[in-house]
Structure 1
């Protein structure tokens, strides 16, 4: 956790609201494998990281509540009985949405002030949105003693994203951010919303993220489009979700769907299997198998699910040229953001230099590279 960030948020809050706040840290997340499987009731393998959102809260004596986004130097003032999505559609909908969904659960939230800032790199696919939602629901639950369980909190965060942000997301991001365990990844069954922690020992390897620093703009609509394709195929098969399908099942309806949608469904079935195999590889300490599964995941995301882009594909191809990298893939919704790379520790510095040069030469743009540590989930900063 970033002590400079904590100080910045606390000082900003005190300067603006003249009160000593309750402080919450809510982490971003990575996902080792299992992409676009969460809304198909499948398996994912995320972990909370040491970058996230720090939020400061205090009850307000005013008749209104105020939210202050420190990094943008923007404030909104709102009345709790007149909540509706902001047409601007930016950060405020994550805050307003959570409050609205808490009220829908008959939880009485009083007026409050919040200020927040984060160190999750923008557009990195590390789910700053879930971190922000979780920080709000967790902070208000503490502030007003509402007695919500962590599971209830993440469902509120998810609903906020559906109803106020307009992204029909699965539960993975909110779960990983809320329930993360230091040095563990979580094999999460998105149907039961139960996870098995796996202590991660990458031995002489580590994870690094490479941010393409691009975000191709079709991601939200493309996401919702793929989700509906998956749901249509599940209903053709008369199953609840693609998690229940086998490759053999898909063959039975192949002539009833477009080739593109068949490949999308096939990808989901295969990716679900990869996530389960990856957890076994972790147990066995078999990093080579894990790496091969990670490469397989990218291949499917790029060629079958078609949510990659030139920049992501280029970074994965660069990884394949390096014998010290066991696996690499795009991470997150797609069309930009980061690749995640499982790399030998002693090869990191050289690879950083070569991949940065190659990326710049190809796209005339810089990539950004970060190491991440696996951290605990959303909690009060003591």
Structure 2
């Protein structure tokens, strides 16, 4: 189980690295967290509901203004640096990691922010490739940094939307709004219920110190994921057209039964997942608000079954982790578990009793490695705060 590096520790090390890289210390800083989705998977681009929380792993950006219109970007995680000219139109390029930054800068400029040239260093404690939205954190962190550099605040919803557009246009990923919204608007000790149609949000309290979230990275990412996300999105949109509704958010199970007499039809199963997942997400928000951990846990298990069987985005390794987790429910140590993120690998998320988190984590790690031969990465988190400027 890995312990979180505090933001103070992360900042101190990053300031030293910035000074080594650019020759002078940074003057501005911003941070944006990764996220885990408690429930509500593949509902966001169907105008539905999601219930994510920010995690205690974040991307930190340090910057110092320049006297010209040049932007120099470096990262502690990769050796390749990038250089941009703010007097020229920004476009995707190499290195690819900088496209998230390029896109967020372009979106900020479109909304009237006029940044100077600057040097910037990116440092991350968000695990990459595990579905914890390091990309959204980088986009939102960049926009928050530009707010600090320009002294021009953005509306949080507009900031999240410009960052979503950055991912579409500069990274080629047709993501929904969840990742950017929770990174921009997360709150400590709260999950965030997001209506992905109206953009309305409701903070759902998770104050109980006796319950924590255990994230287990399966450390697998199956290659078939390449076009699967776009394929699922297209299948959902086609099912909505068949039922003559604007989005699957508007469909009911009765409408689905009428439109697809054969329940084995792929479109039927894709749509059934979204319809039932929306209902589960709304129920989960109420369970969390009431502190009903058993009800929340059951909804998480039902969500995983739906993703495994109807949406077909799970994989053997994720299923093993969830099955292992269910063995700790009877003892009261664990309430529920599910895969989280886009699918085909990545992480599971579990609600665990805080005083049992270490024992549960060791059990899952040992058993998973025994069965698969893969050593997982685990960490415990509480709901964290969203993006913000950091005082240096």
Output the TM-score relative to the length of structure 2.
Answer: 0.93
SS at match of 2:382: coil
Deviation at 1:202, TM superposition (A): 4.1
Are the equivalent residues in 2 in contact too, given 1:95–1:133 (CA < 8 A)?
Answer: yes
Asked if residue 326 in structure 1 is aligned to residue 335 in structure 2, the reply is yes
What corresponds to 1:289 in structure 2?
295
Cα RMSD for the two superposed structures:
1.8
Deviation at 1:345, TM superposition (A): 2.7
What corresponds to 1:252 in structure 2?
258
Which runs of 5 or more structure 1 residues have no equivalent in the other structure? none
Partner Cα distance (2:79, 2:349) in 1: 31
Partner Cα distance (1:335, 1:79) in 2: 38
Deviation at 1:193, TM superposition (A): 1.0
Q: Deviations over 1:116-165 (max 9, x none)?
A: 11111122211111100001111112212334211111111000000110
What corresponds to 2:138 in structure 1?
132
What corresponds to 2:101 in structure 1?
95
Are the equivalent residues in 2 in contact too, given 1:14–1:21 (CA < 8 A)?
Answer: no
What corresponds to 1:305 in structure 2?
311
Asked if residue 86 in structure 1 is aligned to residue 54 in structure 2, the reply is no
For residue 369 of structure 2, the aligned residue among 347, 355, 360 is 360
Are the equivalent residues in 2 in contact too, given 1:134–1:178 (CA < 8 A)?
Answer: yes
What corresponds to 1:276 in structure 2?
282
Are the equivalent residues in 1 in contact too, given 2:301–2:338 (CA < 8 A)?
Answer: yes
Asked if residue 5 in structure 1 is aligned to residue 10 in structure 2, the reply is yes
Are the equivalent residues in 1 in contact too, given 2:212–2:382 (CA < 8 A)?
Answer: no
Which runs of 5 or more structure 2 residues have no equivalent in the other structure? 1-5
Are the equivalent residues in 2 in contact too, given 1:267–1:300 (CA < 8 A)?
Answer: yes
Partner Cα distance (1:54, 1:180) in 2: 16
Deviation at 1:218, TM superposition (A): 2.8
Are the equivalent residues in 2 in contact too, given 1:329–1:339 (CA < 8 A)?
Answer: yes
SS at match of 1:207: strand
Are the equivalent residues in 2 in contact too, given 1:311–1:336 (CA < 8 A)?
Answer: yes
What corresponds to 1:235 in structure 2?
241
Deviation at 1:27, TM superposition (A): 0.6
Partner Cα distance (1:83, 1:257) in 2: 47
Are the equivalent residues in 1 in contact too, given 2:130–2:219 (CA < 8 A)?
Answer: yes
Asked if residue 163 in structure 1 is aligned to residue 169 in structure 2, the reply is yes
What corresponds to 1:350 in structure 2?
359
Matches within 5 A, 1:56-205: 56-80=62-86, 81-86=88-93, 90-202=96-208, 204-205=210-211
Asked if residue 54 in structure 1 is aligned to residue 60 in structure 2, the reply is yes
Deviation at 1:16, TM superposition (A): 2.2
What corresponds to 1:32 in structure 2?
38
Partner Cα distance (1:148, 1:133) in 2: 14
SS at match of 1:74: coil
Deviation at 1:71, TM superposition (A): 1.5
Task: Return structure 1 stretches of 4+ with deviation > 4 angstroms.
Answer: 255-258
Deviation at 1:258, TM superposition (A): 7.6
Q: Deviations over 1:164-185 (max 9, x none)?
A: 1011111111110111111011
Are the equivalent residues in 2 in contact too, given 1:49–1:373 (CA < 8 A)?
Answer: yes
Are the equivalent residues in 1 in contact too, given 2:15–2:25 (CA < 8 A)?
Answer: no
Partner Cα distance (2:352, 2:114) in 1: 48
Output the TM-score relative to the length of structure 1.
Answer: 0.95
SS at match of 2:77: helix
Partner Cα distance (2:107, 2:226) in 1: 21
Partner Cα distance (2:153, 2:129) in 1: 33
Aligned residues: 381
